[in-house]
Amino acid sequence: MQGERGTWSPSKSTLEKAQTVIDATASSSELYRNGFGMIASENIISPMVRKIVGSDLHGRYAEGLPGKRYYQGCGDFDTIESLGIEMAKKVFNAPFANIQSTSGTVSNIGALKALAQPGDKITAVSTADGGHISHARMGAVGLRDLDLSTYPWDEDRMEPDIEGACALIRDVEPKVALVGQSVFLFPTPLREIADAAHEVGAKVMYDGAHVLGLIAGGCFQDPLREGADIMTGSSHKTFPGPQGGFLLSSSEETSFHRRLNTAIFPGVVSSYHLHHVAGKVVALAEFEEYGSAYAHDTVRNAQAFASSLAAQGFDVLAESRGYTASHQVLTRHGDTDSGAGAKAAQLLEEAGIITNMNMLPGDTKALTPSGLRLGVQELTRVGMGPSEMEAVAELYARVLIKHEDPQRVKKDVAELKSHHHVIRYCFNDEQTTGYPF
């Protein structure tokens, strides 16, 4: 019922709906407070970033670029975005940076809009081999109506077969040669692919969504120096900021910069979540200070975790290459398309360990895959190291190999996690925890 001055007295049913959301949010926070967040595409933001994301900027609008706006009241945001552009150029060592994208996928759509016309040819990693859905007909590639050919895959090395990929590029003569994956264990042999692509006049696009923080931290590869014309990425995976994306380029050409900026706005965004952009800028400042240590510690933890899983008896992929050079670890839990990965993920969740099932080479059904894709970037963020990785692997084994009751294991998961609530690698880390709700 409407009260004085236009206020409303909410009904019981609407209050109950709001309370349902509040309760579910608190429950989710509790799940991660007491458990292990090990989905490779996730991370937690710092308290300073969280403060910015919850600011008045959430409800504000800006279109265009700093100093060239379609709205009034953008002067302060111009300061923020201008600073962020310069910081992104520094952190990623890039002549060009656009920080407006609202996600990695939106960055990819914008990049493809800038580089190709509908009907043009593109080469990429197939989703069955670890390519992201935005690289496929079901995603951004299909949205731009591009003619897709996928690289042959080297299962032992978990990367594109380099000779076959270069031969494909020379044969197809694509407009864009896209590399990068969602399952991303090792650096891509980029120089060879870039040479072949540039030979036929193609632009090279590197999707660094998963490994962007490792790249910026100097411990994966350096795509913009290895032949990539464009690098896209997410701002919330191994780069530990708020939800959003980046578009970066090695080009010094002003005309190309204008094309990229135009592809983002008005190409794929209108106003672009100013609170998240501001949060990215704070995250860039934190990464400039702590990013190298965070990236190196993340890779070290992934390698320790993979080795510990193998020692427990798990089938960890890419043993011949040392399992991983990123934040990710892949494990096989049964026959191809058996659904063993889905069953393993469910049992682990019952024990408070949050993972995701994932297709491995040979799988053809996304909902019944044989594998898990595991990430250690969030556990690293809250201060876990190699010794904890060994303990986490033992907890995995208790659930999936020794077949202990997951509820019993869950108590030990919560005990280990109780010592790791403070977010590291950010400003004022000793005073803040990652689970405020």
Amino acid found at 254: T
Closest CA to 380 of 329, 344, 330: 329
Q: What is the pLDDT of residue 190?
A: 97
DSSP 299: H
Burial class (CB in 10 A: 0-12, 13-18, 19+), 271: middle
Residues 112 and 146 sit within 8 Å (Cβ to Cβ)? yes
What is residue 330's three-state secondary structure? strand
As annotated, the residues of the chain forming the CATH 3.90.1150.10 domain(s) are 38-46+291-431
* Superfamily designation of domain 38-46+291-431: Aspartate Aminotransferase, domain 1 (3.90.1150.10)
Structural contact between residues 364 and 344, judged by C-beta atoms closer than 8 angstroms = no
Q: CB-based contacts of 115: which residues, under 8 Å, 6+ apart?
A: 175, 176, 203, 205, 230
Sequence ranges of the chain with CATH classification 3.40.640.10: 50-286
The residue whose two tokens read 């400042």 is 285
Omega of the bond leading into 266 within 30 degrees of 0 (cis): yes
Q: Is the dihedral of CA 425, 426, 431, 435 positive or negative?
A: negative
Coil, strand or helix: which one is 249? strand
Could you tell me if 316 and 330 are in contact, meaning their C-beta atoms sit under 8 angstroms apart?
A: yes
Q: Quote the tokens at residue 277.
A: 């952009």
What is the DSSP secondary structure assignment for residue 269, as one 8-state letter? -
Element of type H or E holding 293? helix 274-312
Strand segments (E) across 138-266: 147-150, 153-154, 159-160, 176-179, 203-207, 230-236, 240-249
Amino acid at 191: R
Q: What angle do CA 394, 217, 373 make, to 5 degrees?
A: 35
**Architecture in CATH of 50-286:** 3-Layer(aba) Sandwich (3.40)
Tabulate helix, strand, coil % of the chain (nearest 5). Answer: 45, 15, 40
Other beta carbons within 10 angstroms of residue 202's beta carbon come to 27
pLDDT tens digits in sequence order for the chain, 437 residues long: 455 666 678 888 889 999 999 999 999 999 999 999 999 999 999 999 999 999 999 999 999 999 999 999 999 999 999 999 999 999 999 999 999 999 999 999 999 999 999 999 999 999 988 899 899 888 899 889 999 999 999 999 999 999 999 999 999 999 999 999 999 999 999 999 999 999 999 999 999 999 999 999 999 999 999 999 999 999 999 999 999 999 999 999 999 999 999 999 999 999 999 999 999 999 999 999 999 999 999 999 999 999 999 999 999 999 999 999 999 999 999 999 999 999 999 999 999 999 999 999 889 999 999 999 999 999 999 999 999 999 999 999 999 999 999 999 999 999 999 999 999 999 975 556 666 65
Those residues with Cβ within 8 angstroms of residue 337's Cβ, 6 or more apart along the chain or in another chain: 362, 363, 364, 365, 368, 369, 370
- For 150-184, give one letter per residue: b (16+ CB within 10 A) or e: bbebbeeebbbbbeebbebbeebebbbbbbbbbbb
Among residues 134, 83, 93, 105, which one has the least CA distance to residue 249? Answer: 93
Residue 49 and residue 29: Cα distance in Å, rounded?
17
Half-sphere exposure (Cβ direction) of 302: Cα atoms closer than 13 Å: 35
Q: Say which residues have a Cβ less than 8 Å from residue 80's Cβ, sequence separation at least 6.
A: 274, 277, 278, 281
Amino acid at 250: S
